[in-house]
Structure 1
Amino acid sequence: MAGSAARIYAGLAPTTTTMMVAATATTLFSPRLRPPPRPSPSSSIYHLHRGRGCCGARNADLRCRRRLLTARGERPPPDDDDEEEEEDPSSSATAAGFDAAVALFNRGEYHACHDVVEELWYGAEDPARTLLHGLLQCAVGFHHLFNQNHRGAMMELGEGLCKLRKLNLHDDDPFSRFREEAADVLQFLYRTQKELAACTDYLCLTMDGSPSSYQLLGNFAAGQQLYRLEPADDTDVGASSSVIVFSVSDDRTAQAAPPRVKLPTLHATEQNLTDLQRDYQYT
């Protein structure tokens, strides 16, 4: 876990302090998704992906085992795929395809998007496999962000960006544009957390780069809604329909124009994924 968590900030935090963050991350949050309290009825993929009837429990066990392998970056045995398909062929989210995953992500249904991309990831080969893994972790990161798990959001976005940055993508590639937008969000989270992470109701500790100061990063107002979505206006850069706004109710941090960043959107299709797999050039 420490090696993974040490890449949280992807070059943002000083090298000498990231291990302190990594040491505490294991006990402060779970990197897995917390199911949403009330799934939207429109999230048909989410409901489809849950086991039904006499086969539900067995398929749930298979998915649990496969999720554990996913967390370790391993591929599940082929028998798992065959067994689940024999039990309930209609439950395969792979049939929905990459376009469905993109639609779910852009609608903010990150939990359901995660499930679809995860199924695609199991059977993919590089470079598409690495790309899908990065997108999956970014979806987890945004799920955490809007469920008040700031540290989890930073870690998963950082991990996802590490995967996406391994790929040699052209600047005009839709996956490259998404990568840059996700990087902007991670930088935004880091900056807003750094400004306020060390402050409590009684004192403020200067974020001086020391292990004790960076140890607090991601913990500020944990469980509180610091980041919210607002419709983009004419002054916002980019064509996204929404922006992420950082705001707190404390008077000492009140601002007339709170910090904001463009919410990433994924303008990619199944054909873009196919083209990447066919034409990718390794360096």
Structure 2
Amino acid sequence: MALLNIWSPPFLPSSSSSSLLLPPSKSIFPSFLYKNQFSLSSNYKPSASYRFPPGRRSIHEEEDDDDDDDNLVGGKFTEAVALFNTRDYFGCHDFLETIWNDSEEPTRSLVHGILQCAVGFHHLFNQNHKGAMMEMGEGVCKLRKLNLESGPFHQFERDMSAVLDFIYQTQLEFAACNDDMCVAMDQSETSYKLLGGYGAGQHLYWLEMDGSASLYIVFSPDRSLTDTNANSNKPRVRLPILYASQEHLMELEDS
């Protein structure tokens, strides 16, 4: 059985049948260790970039700069997609944050939504399940508000919605209980602020690869790292892949 580290290069399977286990995190990293990289406030406004006053440059120079900016954003987005799809969610966040800060609507909301989904996966695979639910929930909400009806971003929103529902359903027994009492979860705003630790620090979710090389998130709280027999009856959901390019991003900007 191969161990998979989410910060390693893309995994290339050597056989059609394998089970990939994310090793337990040493700890749930507090936000201050990231120097607030993941503290994304909806009220945040990027600092104004420098602009030449009128008449300082020719129209052709400005057009060339616009083309350079488009190419730069496109390169960053391509890199962000590659990092997301190879599960380097921390690195993906850095690229998306740069694009998000410099974008206008609707691109800004789209990139912010994808960014929060990436942060959510980072939390999930470091046993911060409550943080994962909150970030993914906000990210999916932003994606839904775009009212996309087709294309890779629409498919990504559907796949992320499935993951969010999967995590919610598998967290029901962990989220609202402590040593003294339990309160039913009902998907209301209040129910997300209840007692309990959402299984914090417990290795509840694993990555498994099926015969077609598709990765699934599997809920198996009683599983150990030495378990070589994957249980196909365990709850699972496909790990989302973002099939988007710079061209798709530009199409959204022009819509």
Same fold, TM-score > 0.5, yes or no? yes
Q: Which residue in the other structure is 2:27 paired with?
A: none
**Map 1:204-243 → 2, pairs under 5 A:** 205=182, 207=184, 209=186, 215-216=193-194, 219-233=197-211, 241-243=214-216
Gaps of 5+ in 1: 1-37, 44-63, 80-92, 235-239
Indicate the structure whose relative CO is greater, using CA pairs within 8 Å and at least 6 residues apart. Answer: 2
User: Cα distance, 1:177 vs. partner?
Assistant: 0.2
- Cα RMSD of the aligned pairs, angstroms, is 3.5
Runs of 4+ in 1 over 4 A off after TM superposition: 38-43, 64-71, 208-218
Q: Which residue in the other structure is 1:249 paired with?
A: 222
Q: Is the 8 A contact 2:6 2:88 kept in 1?
A: no
Alignment partners' CA distance in 1, 2:38 and 2:88: 19
Higher helix share: 1
Instruction: Decide whether aligned partners of structure 1 residues 242 and 204 sit closer, same or farther in structure 2, where only a CA change above 3 A counts.
Output: farther
Secondary structure of 2:206's aligned partner: strand
User: Cα distance, 1:165 vs. partner?
Assistant: 1.1
How many residue pairs get aligned? The number is 199
Whether 1:276 and 2:255 are equivalent positions in the alignment is no
Instruction: Decide whether aligned partners of structure 1 residues 125 and 140 sit closer, same or farther in structure 2, where only a CA change above 3 A counts.
Output: same
Instruction: Decide whether aligned partners of structure 1 residues 160 and 261 sit closer, same or farther in structure 2, where only a CA change above 3 A counts.
Output: same
Alignment partners' CA distance in 1, 2:252 and 2:196: 35
Whether 1:77 and 2:48 are equivalent positions in the alignment is yes
User: Cα distance, 1:75 vs. partner?
Assistant: 2.3
User: Cα distance, 1:233 vs. partner?
Assistant: 4.1
Identity of paired residues, percent? 46
Secondary structure of 2:139's aligned partner: helix
Whether 1:106 and 2:81 are equivalent positions in the alignment is no
Gaps of 5+ in 2: 11-34, 51-71, 224-230
2:247 is aligned with what amino acid? Q
Scaled by the length of structure 1, the TM-score of the pair is: 0.60
Out of 138, 143, 146, the position equivalent to 1:167 is 146
Alignment partners' CA distance in 2, 1:66 and 1:40: 17
Instruction: Decide whether aligned partners of structure 1 residues 266 and 249 sit closer, same or farther in structure 2, where only a CA change above 3 A counts.
Output: same
Instruction: Decide whether aligned partners of structure 1 residues 119 and 40 sit closer, same or farther in structure 2, where only a CA change above 3 A counts.
Output: same
